[in-house]
Amino acid sequence: MKLENAKILVTGGSLGIGKAIARLLVDSGAEVGITGRDRGRIETAAADIGAFPITADVSSTEDIRRTYEAFLDRFGGLDCLVNNAGIAMGRRIDEVTLQDFEDVFRVNVYGAALMAAEAVKIFKAQKHGNIVNIGSTSALKGDEGATIYSASKFALRGMTECWRAELRKHNIRVFLINPSEVATAIGSRDRTERRAPPNKLSALEIAYAVKSVLEMDDRGFIPELSVWATNPW
């Protein structure tokens, strides 16, 4: 895929991994729209990196509809969706509630699926397209206290495999990028981004992973890529 002039939509683009992905894609010549729930943050981020801001919540079907209307009105098409929006919640098994599961799954699972559903309609009509799902190494191995978050990422990984099986015949590539621990604002109540210590990953490493898989010629694709810190201890 050539990134120059490619039309790319990145959810959860106001901070962290999403913003880093959007910035790198803009710097590579792509036309990028970013979504986020906080109008002030998403507009500030967009102005900073040269993207188009869309205030929207991926857990809202109405917001998803508005997102695609706004994006297509601005850019006239879509070449790639990056499903990055996500939330985390740490709970031990004897602490979990149904509401906790619903809150996380509504964004990490249902939101990603419904965003993809709209993108696929466009991609099937034009007979090409790309979906990048930002998963987690928590989709590969569960951890203590991560029942809800890990379950949501296992679900996203499973959905990614299903979409890939459905969509390859339509010339649509579906990628899964699994970051290990990255210093971001996820899990922070006030959405303050944490500073990355020298032995942990930064959002930029994940952005480069996304850029590299997308830039492979359309005849091939990397189904899944996990990015780990070399020595996080």
CA atoms of 168 and 14, how far apart (whole Å): 31
The torsion of the CA quartet 65, 66, 71, 77, rounded to 10 degrees, works out to 30
Q: What does the block give as tokens for 165?
A: 């099986």
CA atoms of 200 and 178, how far apart (whole Å): 15
Nearest to 72 by CA among 135, 2, 7: 7
3-state secondary structure of 198: coil
**Annotation says 149 is catalytic:** yes
Residue whose pair of structure tokens reads 């492979």 in the numeric block:
216
- Give 185-192 contacts, CB < 8 A, sequence gap 24+: 185/15, 185/16, 186/16, 186/86, 186/87, 186/88, 187/87, 187/88, 187/89, 187/90, 191/15, 191/38, 191/41
Residue 195 has what DSSP assignment?
P
Contact yes or no for 76/94 (Cβ under 8 A): no
In degrees rounded to 5, what are phi and psi of residue 58? -70, -10
From the list 68, 110, 149, 208, the catalytic residue is 149
3-state secondary structure of 214: helix
Active site residues: 149
